Amino acid sequence: MKITKAVITAASPAQRGLPLQMLVDRDGQQKSALQIIVEEAIAADIDQICIIVQPGDEIAYANAAGPHAQHCRFVAQDHPAGYGDAVLRAQAFVGDEPFLHLVGDHLYLSTAQRPCAKQVVTIAESNACSVSAVQATRETLLPNFGALGGKRIAGTPSLYQVDQVLEKPTPTEAEQSLIVPGLRAGYYLCFFGIHVLTPTIFDLIARDGGKRLSTALQDLTVCERYLALEVAGRRYDIGVKYGLLMAQLALVLSGNDRAEVLAGMVELLSK
């Protein structure tokens, strides 16, 4: 199993402008959020990227991809028909190959030697199955994420067999269905915004009418092997309140300009 293609979804009316936002990366370079996400995929050895956009956004997104536009193909989602439908638009591009999927409103910051997407791709290739990245998330944030339940695979510190998937569950639903042995109380495994999926997902999305990816992922648990990896890293949802600010701070505080930014923050707080 070799993964060379990626799909980035960015057609939602609520997120279409987010990947175009400019940030300063860890090396002090100004880049669009889209360019940072595309570089995450390229660092996972991806050489073909399909970006799902709203009609008319193709040129803006090609410009935002910067020097990596040559690796990108842009496919329009003609009308907002749900997250699952957006993924389904990439079926012709993907064909019968497994693919990396990233969302256009999240940035990822690895705390390990390998980038977050590369961690997921490595596990998917070695296990020859679908893998979703997850992060232990406190229950107060459940309204923002899909979440899953499962069992830790023996002998591994961060790999799980997925048994249950729920879209933005309530704390009560999560407590009833998504308890994971070994996870601290009040925390659940929530999606990180990175997946490796097999082409089976397209049939499952179509069966659901194309609206929710989470429903297709739940169906995937009974169709074939499906794992979750607790990634060594953090995800930053730039679509929530102060999300872009928090992502920017995380980037610069992990990079070359950390001392300069900290000094500026201290000066700001002292006023």
In whole angstroms, how far apart are CA 107 and each of 19, 96, 112, 115? 10, 28, 16, 11
Q: Among candidates 24, 12, 29, which has minimal Cα distance to 249? A: 24
Q: What 3-state DSSP class applies to 185? A: coil
Contacts (Cβ under 8 Å, ≥6 apart) of 235: 106, 107, 108, 109, 116, 135, 192, 193, 194
Check residue 238 and give its pLDDT. Answer: 93
Q: Are 31 and 23 in contact (CB under 8 A)?
A: yes
Mean pLDDT (the chain) is 93
Q: Among candidates 235, 237, 213, which has minimal Cα distance to 226? A: 213
Q: Where are the alpha helices (DSSP H) in 18-166?
A: 33-42, 58-64, 83-88, 91-94, 116-127
Provide the terminal-to-terminal Cα distance of the chain, rounded to the nearest Å: 56
- pLDDT tens digit sequence for 182-235: 888 889 999 999 999 999 999 999 987 776 899 999 999 999 999 999 999 999
Of 4-8, 62-66, 80-84, 122-126, give the lowest mean pLDDT range: 80-84
Confidence at 11, pLDDT banded by 50, 70, 90: confident
% of the chain beyond a pLDDT of 70: 99
Please indicate whether residue 154 or residue 6 has the higher confidence score (pLDDT).
Answer: 6
Check residue 182 and give its pLDDT. Answer: 83
* Number of residues that make up the chain: 271
Write b or e for each residue in 177-209: b if 16 or more Cβ atoms lie within 10 A of its Cβ, otherwise e: bbebeebeeeebbbbbbbbbbbebbbebbeebe
pTM for this predicted structure: 0.92
- pLDDT tens digit sequence for 131-183: 999 999 999 989 888 999 999 998 888 999 999 999 999 999 998 889 888 88
Q: Mean pLDDT over residues 84-89, rounded?
A: 94
Check residue 117 and give its pLDDT. Answer: 98
In whole angstroms, how far apart are CA 2 and each of 6, 68, 121, 239? 12, 21, 9, 32
Domain that holds residue 198: 5-269
% of the chain beyond a pLDDT of 90: 76
Structural domain count of the chain: 1
Q: What is the CATH number of the domain that holds 200?
A: 3.90.550.10
Check residue 209 and give its pLDDT. Answer: 76
